[in-house]
Structure 1
Amino acid sequence: MLSLLHIENIAVIERADILFEPGFNVLTGETGAGKSIVIDAIGAVTGERASRDLVRTGENCASVSAVFCALPENPFFREIGAESDEDGNLLLQREIFADGRNVCRINGRPVTVSQLRALGSFLIQIHGQHEGLKLLNEQNHLGYLDLFGKTDKELSEYRARYEALAAIEGEIRALHMDEAEKARRTDLLRHQIAELERAELQAGEEEGLEARRNILRNAERITEAVETAHACLSGDEDTGGAASLLAEAERAFTPAARVNGEMAALSEKLTELRYLAQDAAEEIRDLKYGLEFSPEELNQLEGRLALLGKLKKKYGETSEQMLATLQKRRTELEEIEFADDTVRRLEEKREKAAALVKEAAEALSKVRRSAAEVLEGRILSELSQLDMPKVRFEAEFSAKEPGAAGWDEVRFLMSANVGEALRPMNKVASGGELARIMLAMKNALADGDGATLIFDEVDAGVSGRAAQRVAEKLFQVSRGRQVLCVTHLPQIAAMADSHFSVEKGEAGGRTQTGVSLLDKERRKEELARITGGAQITDITLSGAAELLEAAEAYKIRIEREAK
């Protein structure tokens, strides 16, 4: 449940701390005072979309913090590090900057908005005043039924089989082409395959060719360097090279090294240098005699690299990519040449896949129809408690071609009056009826998940006895979970366990909204204001007191019946 909400610089709310209680919490206030801003703040801190427009004018950042307690066990909480602390509390925070940036945290640890939203979906369910319009859209009815029936397993199995069938059908479509297109494509593929095969490509050959070309282009410089180095080390007809001089130095130094021990180390160095010089001289000699440069080889290399450059523009940037292209072209040509055989095999696979899809669709439809019967009974029971005992409600099924969601089409039908035929909800439901149907539906769908339910002015179009029934239903729902409700109806406000007033005023030349918990006397005044408007009289106060007394009597009766 939501126990604390801290708001800073959200729209007209500069700063507010709201301590919510278990059970039924109600927020009331004048139109435009900022009641829905509180709900927007709760939505923001649980990951819903939050625009930079929420940031209070003149401020760089807005922030919302929410503390939840008494949370149910949920493996997902552990996966994202959202376990309660030692006091059983879970802290959610979100900062919204004027430049559009967002910083989200769970228990002080940074998370993404999507992670915050995923967690928030387990903690809070917000139902806005326009939520009922979704019920009028028949395209949403199947989704409502799947949610109620918890068809995730059957729907996932069906979708896996449906996607497998769709993939096979895609392969078949790709293999079907007219004869002229088939001939054109075959000729093109054969030409490309022949061109690549003639090139006799080898993986990685460009690097070797470019290295050899670099040597050939610098042949004169390399030859001169090798000959000079060889002469320096080995000498020529007139002079001895470095190797010969090192040998003479070694011979001259050896006798002295025998006499003086300190000179022995120098003698060893001379010996080592002589060996190194002789080895280098031999390697350079072998390199000198092995140098073979010819203009013809360079021309051949240039021609090969030019061919590879031409092919690169058509088939890939490297030899490896061009070889991969060659294999693809061969495979495609083979598929076209043997397309008829392939299509026959695929059609056999399609037939088997279609049978699996049908089997999964039937299983999914069976689960849905069973869920629909339970949902119908649940909705009728809920509506009866909401002063709609004569209403009829039914989930109508019709078949369609299998699609991503199965072959069921579902729409909700109702009859609000005795003797009237069942008709689509958007044809018969009034605003007040729709609000009650929505409440019944939401209560049925949310049953058992433990999330806090928030209703933002969902009582539009409801009045009189129906308003009283809605108030009683909201209270009954709050016995099993925390409920927050923004309302303009005195019957609902009177039924609250905790009643908050949202008031707008001015301070320092700026509009500011505050939220305060009302005691009994202030509740009377607020109910009198809701009932009678700005002029609060003894009569309206007396009526407010009666509402509170009646609500208290109802609560006591419900608590006794529950025992």
Structure 2
Amino acid sequence: MLEELELRDLGPIRQARIAPAAGMTAITGETGAGKSMLLNAIRLISGGDADSGLVTAGSQQAWVQGIFTMETGCRAAHLAREAGADLEGEEHAQDKTQTAELFLARSMPASGRSRAMLDGHTVPKSVLAEISAELITIHGQSDQLRIASPARQREFLDMVAGNAPLVASYSQDWEALKAMDERLARLRSQEVSARQRASYLRDAIGQIDKVDPKPGEEAELRERRDRIENAAQINQGLAAALSALDSSQMDLDAEGAGAVDLINRAISSLRSIGVGDFFDQTADRLQSINADLSDMVFSLAGQMDQEEGIEDLDSLNSRIHALSELTRQWGPDLEDVIKWREQAAFEIEDLDASPEKLAELDQDRHRLFDQAMKSAQALHDRREQAARELAATVSQELDSLAMSGSRLDIRVSARKAQEASAAGVSGETSGPEGQGGTWPLDAHGLDDIEFLFTPFPGSPQLPMGKSASGGELSRLMLAMELAAAGKASSPQGMTFIFDEVDAGVGGKAAVELGKRLAKLAQSAQVIVVTHLPQVASWAKSQFVVSKGQAGADEAVSTSVTEVGGEDRVREIARMLSGSESATSLDHARELLDSTRL
């Protein structure tokens, strides 16, 4: 909801501040007073084109700001946060909802580029346009032409029908079908380079599978190789030491004497002397030394057995080399090689477009198409039903808006299969193969939707935007908004702005027009620019735009003032008769008293 609109130096308005009511607000004033500047201000904060010619003469720039309140979970708040706004929510005690304020501003220099701001931060004007589209709907003659586009008409119909779940379901099915069509098209258009790629992948996978690498294997083998290389040196030293100590450990038939054998001979020689304790003691000491040497021989021989059990170094080096070749081509690590091999296996499935593979994918494609068609048909049926209901409701509303005999018709046409040389996606169409053509599904279903307006009895049905005056189109849009009001899927907290809605209306029809606007204001904020007192009297608040003199320089300026009480009675009287006579004042009071829902 628009809480406040403030503008400075825009056209004849030097400064103005408007705080519209939560329900219906009327903007009134004499023709040419500058009411259009308020609409221009709203268009500026809605991302509209800037016109430096609207800057007040003598001013450097015009500035406009709108303050909106919204629920923190709405789409506008989501878009604002994505654009960098920091929304602080405030919880309401009544319904526990959280709302936040959002500031949209625009400055427009007399020369140079305009500047768009969101909560004080500069943003592209497209950001303001995207966010304001969720907050404001302007129904002026130029703004209403947007509804003439088929896309906007489809969106409006889906919104009124509450088709969001059906649209989401179809979109998911459509994306899956389109992805499959693109995959099939890619496979069928493979050239020599693709086949070469498949051949390379098969060879590479064969090389990797032949080696059959394991994660972390290369590092483990290098560690074992280092140990083996050192073991060769140890083995050589052990053999020499054992030969010196006990040659029989290396060769059972060895005839050479080792240290153990020589000491045994010395012991035997000393003991054979048989004289004195000295020789016996020396023999005992040699016996002890020999026992230690025997222990050493036993230990060294055990080490020799362990080293002889290690695998062949050549085979180990060969394995390391094979693994290194894999990491050189598809590494840097064996884990990368293994991952690459897995991805290559998936890629080769697509590149290797065998007839069996294509036939399998075709079956998947038929299944996806059938599902998309089922979803599209469900959406089509709901649109047809909603179109009949909406057209009948809008036509009934038009009778109440001084447009008796006018009628809205909504045509929902399912596109049929068309002949084509090949099935599948073509632009935004898709269809089953083998059926001689394509079913023109697109991202939004299989429907062509067209809103047709009959402005008077006997007139042909004409597309919206090309068949009505500005006032008629405004009333048609009012009737459409009334038909959408209260729907669970209709935008909450929306601000509707109507301009020229009262063109060509008077008398009883004017009263009914005001009543219908007030009814819409029960579920949304409504701001209407009007010349009719029968319309303005229904408003909850009223602002008057009037001309005045700026000062000694005699320059004309425009003021915007909220009126209430007797001031509002006098403004309604002026609108009724152009004067403030006792009769017109009484009529104004009577009108204000009678226009209450």
What TM-score results when the alignment is normalised by the length of structure 1? Answer: 0.62
> Does 2:458 align with 1:439?
no
- Name the structure 1 match of 2:493: 451
- Residues 27 and 499 in structure 1, CA contact (< 8 A), matched pair in contact too: yes
- Name the structure 2 match of 1:353: 368
Q: For the aligned residues, what is the CA RMSD?
A: 5.6
- Name the structure 2 match of 1:34: 37
Stretch moving more, 135-144 or 319-328:
319-328
- Residues 52 and 100 in structure 1, CA contact (< 8 A), matched pair in contact too: no
- Name the structure 2 match of 1:407: 446
3-state SS of paired residue (2:459): coil
Stretch moving more, 490-499 or 429-438:
490-499
1:507-532: per-residue Cα shift (whole Å, max 9, x none)? Answer: 8999986532124654466568778x
> Does 2:540 align with 1:502?
no
Q: For 1:416, which of 455, 463, 488 is the aligned residue?
A: 455
Q: How far off is 1:164 after superposition?
A: 2.1
Q: How far off is 1:557 after superposition?
A: 5.2
Q: How far off is 1:195 after superposition?
A: 7.6
Q: How far off is 1:322 after superposition?
A: 5.4
- Residues 475 and 496 in structure 1, CA contact (< 8 A), matched pair in contact too: yes
For 1:418, the aligned partner's letter is P
> Does 2:406 align with 1:391?
yes
CA 1:123/1:157 → structure 2, altered by over 3 Å: closer, same or farther?
same
- Name the structure 2 match of 1:5: 4
> Does 2:101 align with 1:92?
yes
CA 1:420/1:63 → structure 2, altered by over 3 Å: closer, same or farther?
closer
CA 1:415/1:40 → structure 2, altered by over 3 Å: closer, same or farther?
closer
1:97-118: per-residue Cα shift (whole Å, max 9, x none)? Answer: 977653379xxxxxxx999999
Cα distance in structure 1, aligned partners of 2:62 and 2:568: 36
- Residues 39 and 456 in structure 1, CA contact (< 8 A), matched pair in contact too: no
Gap regions ≥5 residues in structure 2 = 82-86, 108-114, 227-317, 416-439
1:110-259 matched pairs, under 5 angstroms: 125-177=137-189, 180=192, 183-190=195-202
For 2:579, the aligned partner's letter is L
3-state SS of paired residue (1:390): coil
Q: How far off is 1:428 after superposition?
A: 3.0
- Residues 213 and 323 in structure 2, CA contact (< 8 A), matched pair in contact too: no
> Does 2:530 align with 1:487?
yes
1:302-317 matched pairs, under 5 angstroms: 311=329
Q: How far off is 1:386 after superposition?
A: 0.6
For 1:163, the aligned partner's letter is E
CA 1:335/1:424 → structure 2, altered by over 3 Å: closer, same or farther?
closer
For 1:541, the aligned partner's letter is S
3-state SS of paired residue (2:368): helix
CA 1:209/1:446 → structure 2, altered by over 3 Å: closer, same or farther?
farther
Q: How far off is 1:430 after superposition?
A: 3.0
- Residues 5 and 18 in structure 2, CA contact (< 8 A), matched pair in contact too: yes
CA 1:434/1:421 → structure 2, altered by over 3 Å: closer, same or farther?
same
- Name the structure 2 match of 1:369: 384
> Does 2:491 align with 1:475?
no
Q: How far off is 1:90 after superposition?
A: 4.8
Q: How far off is 1:441 after superposition?
A: 1.0
Stretch moving more, 341-350 or 319-328:
319-328
Gap regions ≥5 residues in structure 1 = 106-112, 216-299, 532-538
CA 1:427/1:344 → structure 2, altered by over 3 Å: closer, same or farther?
same
Stretch moving more, 133-142 or 184-193:
184-193
The size of the alignment, in residue pairs, is 455
CA 1:120/1:85 → structure 2, altered by over 3 Å: closer, same or farther?
farther
Q: How far off is 1:437 after superposition?
A: 0.9
CA 1:115/1:185 → structure 2, altered by over 3 Å: closer, same or farther?
closer
- Name the structure 2 match of 1:341: 356
Q: How far off is 1:5 after superposition?
A: 2.2
CA 1:8/1:149 → structure 2, altered by over 3 Å: closer, same or farther?
same
Q: For 1:515, which of 560, 569, 576 is the aligned residue?
A: 560
Q: How far off is 1:340 after superposition?
A: 2.0
Q: How far off is 1:390 after superposition?
A: 0.9
Q: How far off is 1:384 after superposition?
A: 0.5
- Name the structure 2 match of 1:541: 579
Q: Which has the larger radius of gyration?
A: 2
Point out the structure with the larger helix share: 1
Stretch moving more, 82-91 or 493-502:
82-91
- Name the structure 2 match of 1:278: none
For 1:540, the aligned partner's letter is G
Cα distance in structure 2, aligned partners of 1:65 and 1:335: 55
3-state SS of paired residue (1:367): helix
